[in-house]
Amino acid sequence: MKIQKYNDKTWEILKEINGKVSFNNKKDIVWKRQKEDFGGFEYEKGEELALAELEKLEAIEIYTDLASRDIIESYANSIQIYNFSFNDREYRNKRNLYIKINPEIFYKVYREYESFMEDNKKDDRKRKEIIIDFQKGIYEKDNIKKIYKISGKRFKIVEQLSKERKTNTPLKELIANTGQSDVIIIQAIKSINKIFRKKLNLKEDLIVNLKTGGGYRLNDEDFIIKKNKTFT
């Protein structure tokens, strides 16, 4: 299989699906819900085109159905549900966008994308090395004068995101492990990024969010991120 054109949004979606789906169970994904009753789906920039491209490659199939309790429960053995609520006000008269995976083709597309992205990944010499030291703070290697001395609630969030894992950290996991509400965490992450950029005189954020599937991670696309040995 030879893909004619590669783009970051499609790769982002491929990684999100790969990190969340158990292909042994062959479950479909509840990907989106209508924002308004009987309205369309709200897509991020490039997301709809990326999904259409994956469907054209036959890696996935996209379909919609009513977001009702009866329907979702009847699909219990075939649908993989993430962050799904049965609150009447949330799902009444709305439809879900589902993704059905074709595992064999999906993995072929994924591997080809992975190979391409690795070949075109930023050279490590161009990526700045960021040190996360929970005694000193967050700073760029060899430039400790510019440092973000993080503490308190913000410290707990970065601490959780610094743990080794293959996928993004879901918001609900941050809530459970930090004891903070979703509103506080989202506001704190915005503040962390703002202070990080200002203190270290950088343009990129420390924490990024893949909204297509949810969750947060440290920005290892723009930075080489290392943590000190005192972190557990």
The percentage of residues in the chain with a pLDDT greater than 70, rounded to a whole number, is: 74
What's the pLDDT score for residue 123?
55
Reduced to 3 states (helix: H, G, I; strand: E, B; else coil), residue 219 is: coil
What's the pLDDT score for residue 89?
52
Distance CA 174, CA 7 (A): 30
Q: Residue 157: is its pLDDT beyond 90?
A: yes
Neighbouring C-beta atoms of residue 218, cutoff 10 Å: 18
Q: Residue 218: is its pLDDT beyond 60?
A: yes
CA distances from 162 to 22, 85, 143, 166, 185 (A): 24, 29, 21, 12, 15
Q: What is the pTM of this model?
A: 0.49
Level-2 CATH architecture, domain 128-227: Orthogonal Bundle (1.10)
CA distances from 205 to 74, 92, 218, 226 (A): 42, 37, 9, 16
Q: Residue 100: is its pLDDT beyond 80?
A: yes
Would you kindly state where each structural domain of the chain is located, as residue ranges?
A: 8-119, 128-227
H/E stretch holding 14 = helix 8-20
Distance CA 60, CA 106 (A): 7
What's the pLDDT score for residue 147?
94
Q: Residue 219: is its pLDDT beyond 70?
A: yes
CA distances from 79 to 23, 73, 168 (A): 12, 9, 21
Q: Residue 81: is its pLDDT beyond 90?
A: no
Instruction: Return the higher-pLDDT residue of 126 and 139.
Output: 139
Which of the four pLDDT bands, split at 50, 70 and 90, describes residue 99?
A: confident
- Which tokens go with 230? 């005192």
19-46 residue pLDDT tens:
766 655 566 777 877 766 556 788 888 8
Distance CA 111, CA 159 (A): 31
Q: Residue 158: is its pLDDT beyond 90?
A: yes
What's the pLDDT score for residue 46?
85
Q: Residue 98: is its pLDDT beyond 90?
A: no
Closest CA to 216 of 185, 170, 172, 177: 170
Q: Residues 190-211: what's their mean pLDDT?
A: 90
Contact 150, 157 (CB under 8 A): no
Q: Residue 79: is its pLDDT beyond 50?
A: no
What's the pLDDT score for residue 68?
59
Mean pLDDT computed over every residue of the chain: 79
